[in-house]
Amino acid sequence: MEEFILFINDIDTNPTLVKELNMITLDPTHHKLLITYAWVGPNGIGDQETREEPIDIMSLSELHDYLNDSFDHIFTIEDMLLNERLITYYISLENQSFIKEIDDLYCELLWRLWRKKDRNEEENVDLAITYQEYGHFLEKVDLSRSIDPYLREKTILEEVAINNPNEDNKRNVLVGLEDVIRVYEKLGDDFEKEALNYTLALFKQYEDCHLENNYEKAHIAEKIGLHYASIDTIEDLDNIDSDDQRIELSLYYHNIEKDIFKMLLDEDPSLDNKYNYGISLRQMGNRYEQLGDQDSLKQASLLYDEAYELFSELYKKDPNYRESYIIASEQKGNIAFLREKYKDALYYYEEVYQLEKEDALSNSDDDLFSVAIILKKLGKVNEKLHNIDQALTYYKESLSLNLDIEKRTDIYVRKAEVGIAYMNIGWVYMNKSEYNLAKEYFEKDLAIREKLHDEYQSVSSHYSLSLAYRHMGYVLEELDEKQSLDYFRKCFDISAYYEKKYSHEGERHYLAVSTHDLAYDLMRLGYLEEAKSYYEKVLFYLEHYKEKRKHEYVLNKEEISDEYHQLIALLKGKEKEK
């Protein structure tokens, strides 16, 4: 750790040449103090001399007492608690008794400052700063506790700004809000609603300060857009009750971000400004892609086109933009795939594959994983183009890479890709009517997803497990085995749970697919009355819910109606037999 200053003494010129204490520096690496004296005369500071004094590792209060005994009480505990580098040093020692003492000292100091009656504005700001420093300390040692001092800092600064709404006070509120937001974002998904609400407050405060449109404001708008894009609609978000409303709000703020960066780009066509504008285009493209209807996908495609041109230009001028160019190319492939322009998708995926292969020469798991993902996408697009053998080759190459990476990772999405690779290979064999081979790969996929769900117990792992159950049901159905019904029931139960919890279009559609799978298998196995009840649920869904998005599993209303009529005919025949 570098040396850092503990104290600088104000020096008054004196017609008499005197030796005065100039600086005390703590060298934590070598456990010594460096004490610097300066000779002060009529013309200011002259020569300096430094002596070293070894010290033992001691607590903050012990260091305070030692320095005051040695240098005539030049320090207060408050001085030391507000020296962030000194506090960081103590945290780095990982001595829990030292950390607890510092925690207690902060609380004692804050209690003393807070109890003071009739604080003036300066004293209130000092109190807010002390809460902020306590927050910085807790953020490093006990993150969840740091939110309280930051909220108190914010509240005090807001009260100061209300009582005296000058520009400095209003800008101080920005700092308090930024501290609160940072911690809520670190605390993760469970606190995304809080992070969103305080970021909205930050944006409003920024406008109240009448600050110009600049990078900071664009960045705040971007963060709001990202929060709206990822937060669950089940949260209480001011009567926002659908995914589409949430994504529209995300688009609103990303559009503000885009307009600011476009203005900055027009003023100064620097590489940085082109990059920022390109990112804003990408963000808006992502949101339109999330909306999923054909008009939105077309809009996403136009935005990705513009971003691709920008990042192509940047990459030609500076190889540091290579990763951004790769992402832009992959997004062009993704949107072409979603719009069923499979030859275009293949072109961009092959371009990405060549670049990712070059990067993977580093043998880093990040680069190898990127290759595995693009191999999977090449497999999918070749399937759509009926290049089945080529698709199978890509899927198996992806599986091989994922199996290698899985040995060295504890990241869920990377482990899950092994199961996805098995699933993709299984589907190739399903479509080739090689059901025993398909079953073999689906069983491997299921084993991995069961293991991952036991380990992670997340929404993603649970949903993923339901997919494996569904695929096992499909292949056992083709093999005319009764066990298929058990898997379809398990898939249905998981689907029903998440539809009840979230009730988004995606969950509703997925439950309808699971309901149809179960209904069809019940009919196949002769459970006609039970099958009838499930068919009626599917038909009710198709009659009353209009789907905006394109879904992976298609529900064909005409075919399902035909199946239902066949079922009714079977039931009538059964009645006649009685």
> What dihedral do alpha carbons 535, 536, 539, 541 form, nearest 10°?
-110
**Structural element, H or E, at residue 265:** helix 243-267
**Which of 3.40.50, 1.10.155, 1.10.530, 1.25.40 is the CATH number of 340-409?**
1.25.40
Q: Are 466 and 453 in contact (CB under 8 A)?
A: no
Our CA angle for 294, 326, 417, nearest 5°, is 75
Q: In the prediction, which pLDDT does 190 show?
A: 87
Q: In the prediction, which pLDDT does 562 show?
A: 95
Residue 41 has φ and ψ, to the nearest 5°, of -130, -165
Distance CA 1, CA 250 (A): 43
Encoding tokens for residue 411?
Answer: 């990241």
Q: Which stretches in the chain have pLDDT values below 70? A: 1-17, 41-46, 73, 232-242, 578
Our CA angle for 45, 48, 49, nearest 5°, is 160
User: Beta 32-41 vs 44-54: how paired, if at all?
Assistant: antiparallel
Residue ranges covered by each domain of the chain: 340-409, 411-481, 485-578
Map residue 332 onto helix, strand or coil: helix
> What dihedral do alpha carbons 329, 334, 337, 343 form, nearest 10°?
10
Distance CA 471, CA 438 (A): 9
Burial 534-551 (b: 16+ CB within 10 A, else e): bbeebbebbeeeebebee
- Maximum distance among all Cα pairs of the chain, rounded to whole angstroms: 123
Map residue 555 onto helix, strand or coil: coil
Encoding tokens for residue 40?
Answer: 């002060």
Q: Are 344 and 351 in contact (CB under 8 A)?
A: no
Distance CA 217, CA 279 (A): 15
Q: In the prediction, which pLDDT does 266 show?
A: 96
Q: At what angle do helices 96-115 and 60-70 cross, to 10 degrees?
A: 70
Encoding tokens for residue 254?
Answer: 């990303």
Facing residues of 34 across strands? 25, 52
User: Beta 4-8 vs 32-41: how paired, if at all?
Assistant: unpaired
What is the length of the chain? 578
Closest by CA to 424, choosing from 393, 386, 465, 456, is: 393
- Tell me which DSSP letter residue 211 carries: P
Could you report how far apart the first and last alpha carbons of the chain are, in Å? 89
Sheet holding 32-41, edge to edge: 4-8, 18-27, 32-41, 44-54
Residue 555 has φ and ψ, to the nearest 5°, of -105, 110
**Structural element, H or E, at residue 38:** strand 32-41
Q: At what angle do helices 435-456 and 412-431 cross, to 10 degrees?
A: 160
Fold for the domain defined by 411-481: Methane Monooxygenase Hydroxylase; Chain G, domain 1 (1.20.58)
Q: Are 405 and 372 in contact (CB under 8 A)?
A: yes
Alpha-carbon Rg of the chain, whole angstroms? 32
Encoding tokens for residue 502?
Answer: 């979230």
Q: In the prediction, which pLDDT does 549 show?
A: 72
Q: In the prediction, which pLDDT does 73 show?
A: 63
Distance CA 357, CA 318 (A): 20
Distance CA 232, CA 224 (A): 14
